[in-house]
Structure 1
Amino acid sequence: MTSELSAPPILSTPAEHTFNEDPTSSSAISQPNRPHRSDRELYEVYEIARTASEIQQNGWNRVALQFPDAMLPDAPWVVGALGTELRKGQAEMHDQNQRLYILADTSYSACCVDEIAAEHADADGVVHYGRACLSPTSRLPVIHIFTRQALDYDAVFESFEREFPERAEKVVLMADVMFQEHVEPISKMLEEKGYANVIATEILRDPTGTIPNRKLITSDTSVHLNEYHLFHISTPPTSLLLTLSSRLSSLRIYPTPSSPYTTASEIPDPSATPGLLRRRYALVIRFATASIIGILVNTLSVKNYMSTISTLKNQIAAAGKKSYTIVVGKLNAAKLANFAEVDGWVVVGCWESGLVEQEGLWKPVITPFELALALQGDESRVWTGEWWGGIEGVKAPTTVDGSDAKLLDQEDTAKSVPEEVEGGVDDEESEPPEFDLRTGKLISHSRPMRVAIRSAPRSAPEVDAAGLSSNQGSASSAVAKRVVGDIALVNGVASPGAEFLRSQRTWQGLGTDFNARDEEDEEEESAIVEEGRSGVARGYTVGEDELRT
């Protein structure tokens, strides 16, 4: 006789994973303080009329709509309202239907335009909603809809008056792009209240400006920002806090409920930014002794990111270090931990996404600006408090005489043997030893490329009767052709990665038959490298032939 179960068996699916509720619901969707807005309010917030007008003027037929997580609940409504508005003007502008696509999960940072996801939809352009870093795009045109957010002017004035009771204080008034339309009216209100030294700002698409993407509205050309305080409406990103901390006298923040970064109970303390900068400098000191540097690509949309990668390679090579370029999508500690041989990472991204929080990461992750400091010698490295997070402003390395440094490619590395000085010691060997300033330990491989050059044999290769050098008959596909000193060589060029595989990897494969093979046996031929698929998922290209999926 069987009895009914009074409780689920131990191996059954837990109740919280049934399909009655979504176990992975977005935190943005479940925000308890999310205001309810009518259709008329949403029509104004998302600027439906302006968006439809610009889409029709640009002649876009396939449009990608990119939403941050906090605005995803409104995405279906926006698509419906925007589609209705487009159909109204369809007869006048175009005799064809526009197709709208929602881009939800961005490939990298939500502040950047996701051109990769838009290309999967074969979009003609992108409409980016909400907070934006305003970095120039590389392939697709974009319409920025910052959204129109309400603001209580009286509450802003009360907060401003508490922070600056003296009417003669010099203050720069700035707001997040979502609240930019309120800056000018608040500035006029403050002027009427007796504040005569308040300078308003307006949006100017220039991430490298003294105040990123902002222009001071003043006729005075001799303004010294270090004499001014900053009053920022809405919580700014940490990268902006660090950037402005050394450029203005002090920072003040007026929090808003619509901030995409923090809630009202999580307002960052601007006075803590010097401590954050000191921690960034500690990462620079830790990074200074890194021998293998990973160039971490955190964007595929920001203009000139490819040239920045080349410049970073030049800088690293000029310092005698090895670099590898890695693309992993959205960053997390587990992904970066797969590359154990990399001593540190430098991020290629916009001025906001270039700052990666160090929590949970095993190796330091720094910005290109910090990399330039780390590659300098201990004698010339000076920390002034300046900081920058993006790829803008990255300059090619220069030599002592001021000329551009040349990238050390394989051929140059093999030929660039240091000159000997008196006593048979070369310039590299006469340099003082390097120590880790944090631990005091001697670092012998902080410049592996120069170490390999120093260890390379100076004598000419042996030549047999046939006139061939002794190493010309060896297989060029070997991972490590020879080992000189402490660094393995690949085709005669130093390779710290091959050295890591040779000396530190403990796993030797699934079987031992190959590893136990005598050295005199014929080496196994390497597999032929063939070109694989390229392109986006909707239409791959294989070699010269096209394959549609």
Structure 2
Amino acid sequence: MTSELSAPPVLSTPAEHIFEDPTPASSIAQAKRPNRPDYELYEVYEIVRTAIEIKQNGWNRIALQFPDAMLPDAPWVVNALGNELDKGQEEGPGQEQQQRRRLYILADTSYSACCVDEIAAEHADADGVVHYGRACLSPTSRLPVIHIFTKQKLDYASVTESFEKEFSEKTEKVVVMTDVMFQEHVAPICESLRERGYSNVVATEIVRDPTGTIPNRKVIWPDAPAEEQTNYSLNEYHLFHISTPPTSLLLTLSSRLASLRIYSTPSSPYTTTSEVPDPSATPGLLRRRYGLVIRLATASIIGILVNTLSVKNYMSTISTLKSQIAAAGKKSYTIVVGKLNAAKLANFAEVDGWVVVGCWESGLVEQEGLWKPVITPFELGLALQGDESRVWTGEWWGGIEGVVEASPVKDDNAEVGAEQEKDKEVTENEVEDVEGGVSDEESEAPEFDLRTGKLVSHSRPMRVAIRSVSRSGSETDGVDLVNGQSAASSAIVKRAVGDVALVNGVASPGAEFLRSQRTWQGLGTEFGAEDDEESTVVEEGRSGVARGYTVGQDQLRT
């Protein structure tokens, strides 16, 4: 009501915060270009190999993607790579001058730095991407990519000394693994350890297979034929990881190997953080992840948070998640926000929790500062199970790999209309069959939040909404239903108390939330007035690209 609004809302920035920048400090400002000679940088960034592969692929427009810690080296890489590509450019008299290749630096990645930023590369109309530094190696969906992990130095004596402190028994079964930037050192270190008497030490090599027992790695068994390399279990093996691994890798391997040990590499000039995770804290992290699963079990509206537009099959994964959520009687909304932060997600107050569609590393989102839980597709599968069938085994996965292949995307309105007709028949039968005329919905076992013990009555809003529409039939406030859908398809319909609003004839818990729970209704003086007039038609503004805008009806002229 108008009388309840005593003063207009405060929309200005308080004076004490005028000169404060709320944006977190970027690691670029902290990264300083290491003082390294050119010949060493040629080896680090593999300039010669990169130029050879670019020429073999026939690329003329190349996007170079750097993580924040390597950006200080980006101008030098562009200059060195350009000079290498120009070698032999004018060879062959009588031939037409070849098109000069153009290099573009991708600085601010759209999503995670471990993924190939195809979106930014397509803005430059690039033929391919050269990705530098550590990578999740998730397959791309549109552009080809060359991965340059870079070559980093490693102190072998320090590594073997640390290994001997961790494993005093020479017969311990150990898998040696490094970050991709140190991969060339795995074989020499394993050979050195075998010379010291460690007979059960095995090495790993890089393969593009995120779904492997060790993501993107294959264990090299010395005495096994090539065809039997993957037939060994790692449950009895310990993992010795050189360099600081991502938390998602620790959680993934916690149930697949006996234990994890970490050797940090402080000598790396491209490390933006000095924090070393404690593998012994992994069970506690998994328990917290399970707590988030329990919170999502009673959620009514789940947001599908798209954290990649590059990983292959991300569209089919979104379709699968929508189907799984709908089958559980819950509502889903798909949101794309770019890089995640608490402020962006807080704009969607009606969403009870989020599931991330991303690579196996970016699927793990830290909960610090977030109001609602953010989980992975694997965790969502557990959350949608019943309390009787949900079993927590300690297994964990952060990516979209392993999600059941989606069925073809169907029209949501048609699906809901069919479900409404089906549920109408079922509901009528239920009312007749159940003793006392009580519907099956009312006879269902009550659902409780396992964290608080409170009764939850709205965890499956779509089932209630469909039955409500079926029962009410055409008795909606002046709105006729055709095949279970509203004839007024362009309006948000306010229904009876306890029912859910409809948008285009489809039940919408989000619209109901905005109608019934949002306290902020916008600027103006006619709050809640019954004689509100319909708004005028929105005028069409500018469209097109910056170099050639069209305004209003001009774009219709020939």
Q: 1:442 aligns with which of 448, 451, 455?
A: 455
CA distances 1:291-348 after superposition (whole Å, capped 9, x unpaired): 0000001001111111111110000000000000001111000000000000000001
Q: 1:524 aligns with which of 527, 534, 542?
A: 534
Q: Compare 289-298 and 409-418 and name the one that shifted more.
A: 409-418
Displacement of 1:457 in angstroms is 4.3
Q: Where do 1:139-178 residues align within 5 Å?
A: 139-178=142-181
Q: Aligned residue for 1:429?
A: 442
Displacement of 1:87 in angstroms is 0.6
User: Does structure 1 conserve the Cα–Cα contact (< 8 Å) formed by 2:317 and 2:406?
Assistant: no
One-letter amino acid of the structure 1 residue matched with residue 108 of structure 2? D
CA distances 1:377-415 after superposition (whole Å, capped 9, x unpaired): 0000000000000111111589xxxxx999883223322
Q: 2:344 aligns with which of 319, 322, 335?
A: 335
Is structure 2 residue 417 aligned with structure 1 residue 411? yes
CA distances 1:404-449 after superposition (whole Å, capped 9, x unpaired): 9998832233223144042223333221111111111111100000
Distance of 2:506 and 2:164 partners within structure 1: 65
User: Does structure 1 conserve the Cα–Cα contact (< 8 Å) formed by 2:474 and 2:481?
Assistant: no
Alpha carbons of structure 1 residues 474 and 40: separation in structure 2 relative to 1, 3 Å: closer
Q: Where do 1:33-182 residues align within 5 Å?
A: 35-92=34-91, 95-182=98-185
User: Does structure 1 conserve the Cα–Cα contact (< 8 Å) formed by 2:34 and 2:269?
Assistant: no
One-letter amino acid of the structure 2 residue matched with residue 416 of structure 1? K
Distance of 1:49 and 1:542 partners within structure 2: 50
Displacement of 1:190 in angstroms is 1.2
Alpha carbons of structure 1 residues 26 and 433: separation in structure 2 relative to 1, 3 Å: closer
Q: 2:335 aligns with which of 326, 334, 339?
A: 326
Q: 1:361 aligns with which of 356, 359, 370?
A: 370
In structure 1, the residue corresponding to 2:496 is in which secondary structure?
Answer: strand
Q: Aligned residue for 1:196?
A: 199
Displacement of 1:36 in angstroms is 2.1
Q: Aligned residue for 2:12?
A: none
Displacement of 1:193 in angstroms is 1.3
Alpha carbons of structure 1 residues 513 and 271: separation in structure 2 relative to 1, 3 Å: closer
Displacement of 1:517 in angstroms is 3.2
Distance of 1:456 and 1:64 partners within structure 2: 53
Distance of 1:457 and 1:477 partners within structure 2: 20
Distance of 1:208 and 1:86 partners within structure 2: 36
CA distances 1:191-249 after superposition (whole Å, capped 9, x unpaired): 11111111111111001111100011111655221100000011100000000011000
Displacement of 1:454 in angstroms is 3.0
Point out where structure 2 has 5 or more consecutive residues left out of the alignment: 1-14
Displacement of 1:498 in angstroms is 1.6
Alpha carbons of structure 1 residues 406 and 227: separation in structure 2 relative to 1, 3 Å: farther
Q: Aligned residue for 1:346?
A: 355
CA distances 1:65-98 after superposition (whole Å, capped 9, x unpaired): 0000111111111111101101113235972211
Displacement of 1:27 in angstroms is 3.6
Alpha carbons of structure 1 residues 27 and 509: separation in structure 2 relative to 1, 3 Å: closer
Q: Aligned residue for 1:480?
A: 493
Distance of 2:460 and 2:153 partners within structure 1: 55
One-letter amino acid of the structure 2 residue matched with residue 432 of structure 1? A
Q: Over aligned residue pairs, what C-alpha RMSD do you find? A: 3.5
Alpha carbons of structure 1 residues 511 and 194: separation in structure 2 relative to 1, 3 Å: same
CA distances 1:91-115 after superposition (whole Å, capped 9, x unpaired): 3597221111111111100000011
Alpha carbons of structure 1 residues 52 and 396: separation in structure 2 relative to 1, 3 Å: closer
Is structure 2 residue 233 aligned with structure 1 residue 230? no
Distance of 1:472 and 1:139 partners within structure 2: 38
Q: 1:184 aligns with which of 182, 187, 191?
A: 187
Alpha carbons of structure 1 residues 117 and 468: separation in structure 2 relative to 1, 3 Å: closer
Distance of 1:538 and 1:393 partners within structure 2: 44
User: Does structure 1 conserve the Cα–Cα contact (< 8 Å) formed by 2:135 and 2:149?
Assistant: yes
Q: 1:391 aligns with which of 385, 400, 408?
A: 400
Displacement of 1:30 in angstroms is 3.6
Q: Compare 451-460 and 435-444 and name the one that shifted more.
A: 451-460
In structure 1, the residue corresponding to 2:465 is in which secondary structure?
Answer: helix
Is structure 2 residue 511 aligned with structure 1 residue 501? no
Q: Aligned residue for 2:469?
A: 456
Q: Aligned residue for 1:208?
A: 211
Alpha carbons of structure 1 residues 405 and 249: separation in structure 2 relative to 1, 3 Å: farther
Displacement of 1:189 in angstroms is 1.2
Distance of 2:539 and 2:418 partners within structure 1: 25
Q: Aligned residue for 1:300?
A: 309
Distance of 1:472 and 1:132 partners within structure 2: 47
In structure 1, the residue corresponding to 2:129 is in which secondary structure?
Answer: strand
User: Does structure 2 conserve the Cα–Cα contact (< 8 Å) formed by 1:452 and 1:485?
Assistant: no
In structure 1, the residue corresponding to 2:321 is in which secondary structure?
Answer: helix
In structure 2, the residue corresponding to 1:226 is in which secondary structure?
Answer: coil
Distance of 1:472 and 1:61 partners within structure 2: 53
Distance of 2:420 and 2:538 partners within structure 1: 26
Q: RCO higher in 1 or 2 (8 Å CA, sep ≥ 6)? A: 2
Displacement of 1:351 in angstroms is 0.2
One-letter amino acid of the structure 2 residue matched with residue 414 of structure 1? Q
One-letter amino acid of the structure 2 residue matched with residue 349 of structure 1? G
Q: Aligned residue for 1:275?
A: 284
In structure 1, the residue corresponding to 2:443 is in which secondary structure?
Answer: coil
Displacement of 1:267 in angstroms is 1.2
Displacement of 1:163 in angstroms is 0.6
Distance of 2:67 and 2:458 partners within structure 1: 44
Distance of 1:468 and 1:360 partners within structure 2: 44
Distance of 1:366 and 1:531 partners within structure 2: 39
CA distances 1:127-151 after superposition (whole Å, capped 9, x unpaired): 0000100001111110000000001
Q: Compare 135-144 and 482-491 and name the one that shifted more.
A: 482-491
Distance of 1:217 and 1:388 partners within structure 2: 23
In structure 2, the residue corresponding to 1:90 is in which secondary structure?
Answer: coil
Distance of 1:68 and 1:157 partners within structure 2: 30
Displacement of 1:122 in angstroms is 0.8
Alpha carbons of structure 1 residues 26 and 379: separation in structure 2 relative to 1, 3 Å: closer
Displacement of 1:251 in angstroms is 0.1
User: Does structure 2 conserve the Cα–Cα contact (< 8 Å) formed by 1:452 and 1:484?
Assistant: no
CA distances 1:472-492 after superposition (whole Å, capped 9, x unpaired): 996432212533634223344
One-letter amino acid of the structure 1 residue matched with residue 83 of structure 2? T
User: Does structure 2 conserve the Cα–Cα contact (< 8 Å) formed by 1:477 and 1:526?
Assistant: no
Displacement of 1:525 in angstroms is 7.1
Alpha carbons of structure 1 residues 531 and 480: separation in structure 2 relative to 1, 3 Å: farther
User: Does structure 2 conserve the Cα–Cα contact (< 8 Å) formed by 1:66 and 1:129?
Assistant: yes
